[in-house]
């Protein structure tokens, strides 16, 4: 059973110190996600969705509790080991693509491979292949400012997947897009899930998107309620 689990979260708590006092955002999250599962996370603004995604991806640390990804206890990893985990095991897609504006689509997508130590030649070949997979083989030399919102998000998805991570975390990936473009991004994510056997966690306000995944979890009062839609 354990080796089929991608994510194991036990009694995860996260508090922030704010000027008005301490905010207890996550108050005992328990969550098991199987390999290859597609999970939607919903909840009102400020419920803690982004906080949870950052912790699952090792971008932020919990106040208490345990997070394992592929059996690895994230917060016992230090420095380089945590960086390597983030770079290889997890791909992140954000609402605002967070591409580097002065670099081309190809250079943005190559970056995680260069960071992992690969040479420019093979990194560039791999990045071009993944950009073709997301339908942007004809936009390699464009900078983000010369791409549409949907194209920018495709580049961000290619960047998230270029190191072939097993877990894709997407935080409101269609939050900034019109309906037609959102639908294209959702089908792209599902296609990537199917072709790579990805595990996906997607924060969304888009009910049809959530309903099309395997499970929907809602963060409410700092804890998770399961299967609110499916």
Ligand X SMILES: Nc1ncnc2c1ncn2[C@@H]1O[C@H](COP(=O)(O)OP(=O)(O)O)[C@@H](O)[C@H]1O
215 binds, among Mg ion, ligand X, none (CB under 5 to 8 A by kind): none
Q: Report CA-CA distances (Å) from 145 to 23, 100, 176, 182.
A: 37, 10, 15, 19
Among 7, 42, 43, 202, binds ligand X (CB under 6 A): 43
Whether the Cβ atoms of residue 6 and residue 166 lie closer than 8 Å to each other: yes
Q: Is 25 in the site for ligand X (CB under 6 A)?
A: yes
Closer residue to ligand X in complex, CB, 2/45: 45
Choose between 45 and 195: whose C-beta lies nearer to ligand X: 45
Q: 114 Cβ partners below 8 Å, 6+ apart?
A: 120, 123
The residue to which tokens 């708590």 are assigned:
13
Is residue 45 part of the contact set for ligand X (CB under 6 A)?
yes
Instruction: Find the binding residues for ligand X in span 4-23 (CB under 6 A).
Output: 16, 18, 23
Question: Which residues make up the interface to Mg ion (CB under 5 A)?
Answer: 49-50
Q: In the bound complex, what is the minimum distance in angstroms from residue 101's beta carbon to Mg ion?
A: 22
Among 22, 46, 98, 211, indicate the residue that binds ligand X (CB under 6 A): 46
Residue 38 or 49: the one with the smaller Cβ distance to Mg ion is: 49
Binding part of the chain for ligand X, among 46-54, 129-137, 156-164, 179-187 by CB under 6 A, reads 46-54
CA distance 32 to 5: 7
**Residue 18 touches which member of Mg ion, ligand X, none, C-beta under 5-8 Å by kind:** ligand X
Answer with the entry of ligand X, Mg ion, none that 43 interacts with (C-beta below 5 to 8 A by kind): ligand X
Reference 184, options 206, 159, 161, 200; nearest CA is 206
User: What does the binding site for ligand X look like in residue numbers (CB under 6 A)?
Assistant: 16, 18, 23, 25, 43, 45-51
């Amino acid at each position: 059973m354990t080796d089929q689990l991608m994510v194991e979260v036990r009694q995860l708590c996260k508090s922030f110190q704010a000027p008005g006092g301490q905010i207890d955002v996550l108050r005992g999250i328990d969550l098991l996600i199987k390999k290859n599962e597609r999970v939607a996370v919903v909840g009102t603004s400020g419920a803690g969705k982004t906080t949870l995604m950052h912790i699952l991806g090792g971008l932020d640390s919990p106040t208490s509790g345990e997070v394992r990804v592929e059996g690895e206890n994230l917060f016992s990893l230090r420095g380089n080991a945590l960086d390597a985990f983030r770079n290889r095991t997890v791909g992140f897609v954000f609402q605002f693509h967070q591409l580097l504006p002065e670099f081309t689509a190809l250079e943005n997508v190559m970056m995680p491979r260069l960071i992992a130590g690969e040479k420019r030649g093979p990194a560039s070949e791999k990045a071009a292949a993944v950009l073709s997979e997301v339908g942007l083989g004809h936009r390699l030399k464009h900078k983000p400012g010369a791409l549409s919102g949907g194209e920018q998000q495709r580049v961000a998805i290619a960047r998230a997947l270029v190191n072939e991570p097993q877990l894709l975390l997407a935080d409101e990936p269609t939050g900034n897009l019109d309906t037609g473009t959102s639908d294209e991004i959702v089908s792209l994510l599902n296609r990537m899930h199917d072709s790579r056997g990805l595990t996906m966690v997607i924060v969304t306000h888009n009910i049809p998107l959530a309903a099309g995944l395997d499970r929907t979890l809602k963060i409410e009062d700092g804890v998770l309620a399961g299967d609110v839609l499916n």
